[in-house]
Structure 1
Amino acid sequence: MSNMDLRQIRQFVAVAEELHFGRAAERLNMTQPPLSQAIQALERELGLRLFDRTKREVKLTPVGEQWFVHARRVLAEATALPDIARKLARGEMGLLRLSFVSTVDYSLLPAAVGRFRAAYPNVELSLREATSDVQIDALLRSEVDVGIVIAPPSSSLSQTLSYRPILREPLIAAVPSSWIDEGRDGFCEGILEPAAFFAAPLILFPRRSAPIFHDLVSGYFAEHRSAFSVFQEAIQMQTIIGLVGSGMGVALVPQSMTRLQRDGVTYLPLSGRVPTVETGLLWRTNDRNAACANFLAVANASVHQPAQAL
């Protein structure tokens, strides 16, 4: 079995399809005696008969009939190998492992994934939600191919990882709807004054999970000379919104999060200048995965309003 090659399988399939050594030999551009000898050698190698031969006809044995199905499949797969290699090189087949922060569930991710699947249906796409710090570690360990992250600190990039900003959007306040219904001081429909926001319990990501985002929020407090204190931490944006809905406190969230409608939560713009959060693509600089390059292009083209493409 170790000496069997595609030439032998091709010869067997030709005879099995034609059930005539002369026609099969003509199809293979060879003479009949060498083909007969090749089939006999194959049968000796397998230790069984594939054909029953008489002067009038050639028939597949029961084993030959069953093996024919497998041989033809192997031959078809082997024939497709060169095209598969070319498609892999172009990123039209293969595996792409994508990680993303929870904030892009309501902005970039649906459009980017939808367009990528439509353009490259033969690429297997593996999705993994993770905070930015976890994604950086996973990229460095080659566990994912591309990440969608909140802008990482420059110290985490170096020559190993490349970063491309693609989305920037203002932060808005997520507040308990009950506070508005109760007429709580400073909370009403419309535009929220920063002073009322700063006085409320704050819910925020841990700094290790999204240091740039965390520093945006703390910087916003510092800009207004307000004491910065985090009342409750959570690592997923959906969890933060849920805690706001329970009346636990307030949060600053990207504007696109208004697409997440949750009972008990009202989104309010803040008056005055507000910080903007940047989201971008992160990948290994020397990664030769063509599917990764294709996704980067598709994601860049998928940025939509209300966020602003850079």
Structure 2
Amino acid sequence: MIEVRQARYFLAVAETLHFGRAAERLAMSQPPLSQAIQQLERQLGARLFDRGGRKVALTETGRVFVKECRKLLAAAQHAQEVAAQTEAGLVGTLRVGVVTSALSEPLLGTIADFRQARPRVELQVMEVDTPTGQDLVTRHDLDIAVIRPSAPVRGLRVRPWRHDQFVIALPERHPRAAERSTVAVDLSLFADEPWVWLRREASPDYHDQLMATCRRAGFTPDARHLANSILTQLAMVACGFGVTLVPNATAARTFQRPVAYRRLTDPADIVELSLVTRANAQEPLVKEFLRIASGESIGAAQLK
């Protein structure tokens, strides 16, 4: 295996055809250089230079070897530059897991800004649910997860990112759907309605926020229909299966018809989305993404 150092020594002699001048270029004395070239020739089993009289000339093998050594040095230089750029967060791959309903602002703006700041970085996005996102970050299969709040997981750091309030989603033919959208309603009015509910295993903390909101209004919802995502909940409401609660930001951008939305008279603040990374994440690209997202970020929590 030819070393980069050997290639550099050989090229210095090949380009000057003079061991003394080559040694000066390399900032070393001539004897060690001569010994290194002799060792290289023994290693290759071929003469690289003709050393007749005072002149040094490349052999045919030497002339061919020049091209290969230049390729080797160029590859080594490229590898060094890539390593430095990766360490600086200028190149590489960032893997982001996202719950479906997060594919809107502020994530879209964050991704656009990240791509502008790091145009040579490959950004890979995967749709996940909250437990899967946590698991993939833990296993180093994702770098960042944009997910719903969930139970603490050892080794993960959670940054609450987007706060919101629940609104109630109604089928278009519901009696209260005809009211002005600006009219706030008391959630207790829907205590006897059939509800479209989110499975707890899809997002435990978010599910518990839903349940706590209903119980604060004095009832436990009749969860007749179950969904695995907020978008599926809204699709089922659109089909007339029942009512549900969704974050206001989600309501503003999906299913404007045949779903109607009403503000609540006693809205509760919720953490709708969080940015989740490994607690000890030091990758430059992760730091850069979080830096760009920090314009929307609201605090951070370390889970140990």
TM range (shorter): 0.7 to 0.9
Cα deviation for residue 222 of structure 1 reads 2.2
Cα contact 2:95–2:125 (8 A) shared by 1: yes
Structure 2 residue 42 is the aligned partner of structure 1 residue 75: no
Cα contact 2:214–2:221 (8 A) shared by 1: yes
Structure 2 residue 288 is the aligned partner of structure 1 residue 288: no
Amino acid at match of 1:188: A
Q: 1:211 to 1:25 in 2, by over 3 A?
A: same
Q: 1:49 to 1:274 in 2, by over 3 A?
A: farther
Superimposed CA distance per residue, residues 246-282 of structure 1 (whole angstroms, 9 cap, x where no aligned partner): 4433332222224534474434232411233202223
Structure 2 residue 34 is the aligned partner of structure 1 residue 21: no
Matched residues in 2 for 1:56 and 1:286: separation?
57
Cα deviation for residue 168 of structure 1 reads 0.7
1:137 to 132, 135, 138: 135
Structure 2 residue 291 is the aligned partner of structure 1 residue 297: yes
C-alpha RMSD of the superposition: 3.5
Structure 1 unmatched runs, 5+: 304-308
Number of aligned residue pairs: 291
Residue 165 of structure 2: aligned partner: 170
Matched residues in 2 for 1:137 and 1:79: separation?
33
Superimposed CA distance per residue, residues 61-103 of structure 1 (whole angstroms, 9 cap, x where no aligned partner): 574255145323233135537735xx52x54555443323223
Cα contact 1:168–1:276 (8 A) shared by 2: yes
Matched residues in 2 for 1:244 and 1:46: separation?
76
Matched residues in 2 for 1:243 and 1:51: separation?
81
Matched residues in 1 for 2:234 and 2:50: separation?
74
Matched residues in 1 for 2:118 and 2:278: separation?
21
Matched residues in 2 for 1:126 and 1:150: separation?
20
Amino acid at match of 1:133: P
2:228 to 227, 235, 247: 235
Residue 302 of structure 2: aligned partner: none
Cα contact 2:251–2:261 (8 A) shared by 1: no
Matched residues in 2 for 1:174 and 1:13: separation?
74
Structure 2 residue 190 is the aligned partner of structure 1 residue 190: no
Matched residues in 2 for 1:118 and 1:41: separation?
50
Cα deviation for residue 228 of structure 1 reads 0.8
1:108 to 94, 106, 109: 106
SS class of match (2:242): coil
SS class of match (1:143): coil
Pairwise mapping of residues 200-219 of structure 1 onto structure 2 (< 5 A)?
A: 200-219=193-212
TM-score by length of 2: 0.76
Q: 1:284 to 1:30 in 2, by over 3 A?
A: closer
Structure 2 unmatched runs, 5+: 300-304
Cα deviation for residue 122 of structure 1 reads 4.8
Amino acid at match of 1:190: R
Cα contact 1:245–1:263 (8 A) shared by 2: no
Moved more, 288-297 or 212-221: 288-297
SS class of match (1:187): helix
Matched residues in 2 for 1:254 and 1:237: separation?
9
Matched residues in 2 for 1:120 and 1:138: separation?
24
Amino acid at match of 2:100: S
Matched residues in 2 for 1:295 and 1:32: separation?
51
Cα contact 1:150–1:277 (8 A) shared by 2: no
Matched residues in 2 for 1:267 and 1:52: separation?
89
Residue 268 of structure 1: aligned partner: 261
Superimposed CA distance per residue, residues 158-207 of structure 1 (whole angstroms, 9 cap, x where no aligned partner): 6x333222221112233344x2xxxx422215236346655543223211
Amino acid at match of 1:71: L
